[in-house]
């Protein structure tokens, strides 16, 4: 048991410097969620279906999230196709080490890997020409404390250092080939997508999962402290039902 506790303590100690390095990161819309696969938190999955808000609060629409037990963990599939964007994700999460204190309390070190795709869709007369696409691959190592019974009522807060890399769209505002700044005086100023740049992030996420029988409610905050690179508040919420 002592090696397990040492591993958990070492990972927890890494969370603080990871949060500091988050300010050196760049943002990617393909980071679809700030919550994690429940299997990585030591939670039972079976077959779960739910809805989640998307980290990009600038668009209307929710993500359909499905989890299914596979091996020691669970496979996660994400899909969404509302009016302004499309998003897809595939991931896997599993517990690595679990230390049970009592039947109602345990500490889990887990791993959660996710690959996400995010595609923008702009209307014909939008100021944006083309549709930006983003790709992102992320690995998180959560340390989760479960309080309560996984078969009835439990609360599981966690802290999760993570690293991610991806590709995000780039472009510039142009007016008939001349750089411009969007304003009412410049009616022909359009944003032209011209390629992608490499994005990366290294930081720490916070979250909690509340379960009541087969119902799960998740809340996650993607970065502590919030980096200057992130134009949006990296929060997402989800609700799911385990069958």
DSSP states of the chain as a string?
-HHHHHHHHHHHHHHHHHHHHGGG----TT---SS--GGGGT---SEEEEEEE-S-TTS--EEEEEEEEETTEEEEEEEE--SSEEEEEEEEEEEEEEEEEETTEEEEEEEEEEEEEEEE---TTSSEES--EEEEEEEE--EEEEEE-TTSEEEEEEEEEEEEEEEEEEEEEEETTEE---BTTBTT-EEEEEEEEEEEEEEEEEEEEEEETTEEEEEEE--SSPPTT-SS--EEEEEEEE-
Q: Residue 215 sits in a domain of what CATH number? A: 2.40.160
Which residues of the chain carry a pLDDT beneath 70?
1-25, 56-60, 183-186, 225-232
Q: What is the pLDDT of residue 19?
A: 42
Asked whether residue 232 is assigned to any structural domain, the reply reads yes
* pLDDT value at residue 18: 45
The residue range of the domain holding 86 is 2-119+134-161+202-242
Q: Is the residue at 26 inside a domain?
A: yes
pLDDT at 13: 46
In a domain, 112, yes or no: yes
- Please report the pLDDT score of residue 230 as a whole number: 53
The confidence score (pLDDT) of residue 179 equals 85
- Classify residue 56: in a domain, yes or no: yes
169 inside domain: no
Overall number of domains in the chain = 1
**Looking at the domain assignment, is residue 183 inside a domain?**
no
Q: Is residue 127 part of a domain?
A: no
pLDDT at 17: 46
Residue 152 lies in a domain: yes
pLDDT cut 70: percent of the chain above it? 82
């Amino acid at each position: 048991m002592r090696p397990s506790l040492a591993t958990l303590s070492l990972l927890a100690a890494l969370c603080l410097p990871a949060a500091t390095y988050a300010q050196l990161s760049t943002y990617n819309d393909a980071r679809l969620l700030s919550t994690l696969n429940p299997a990585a938190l030591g939670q039972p999955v079976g077959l779960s279906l739910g809805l989640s808000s998307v980290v990009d609060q600038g668009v209307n629409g929710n993500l359909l999230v499905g989890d299914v037990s596979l091996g020691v963990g669970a496979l996660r599939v994400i899909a969404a196709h509302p009016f302004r964007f499309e998003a897809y994700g595939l991931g896997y999460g599993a517990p690595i080490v679990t230390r049970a204190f009592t039947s109602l309390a345990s500490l889990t070190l887990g791993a959660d890997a996710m690959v996400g795709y995010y595609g923008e869709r702009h209307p014909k007369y939008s100021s944006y020409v083309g549709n930006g696409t983003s790709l992102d691959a992320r690995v998180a190592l959560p340390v989760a404390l479960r309080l309560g019974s996984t078969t009835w009522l439990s609360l599981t807060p966690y802290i999760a250092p993570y690293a991610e890399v991806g590709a995000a769209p780039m472009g510039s505002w142009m007016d008939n080939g001349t750089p411009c700044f969007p304003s009412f005086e410049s009616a022909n100023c359009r944003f032209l997508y011209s390629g992608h740049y490499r994005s990366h992030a290294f930081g720490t996420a916070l979250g909690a999962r509340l379960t009541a029988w087969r119902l799960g409610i998740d809340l996650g905050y993607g970065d502590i402290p919030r980096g200057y690179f992130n134009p949006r508040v990296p929060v997402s919420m989800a609700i799911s039902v385990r069958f």
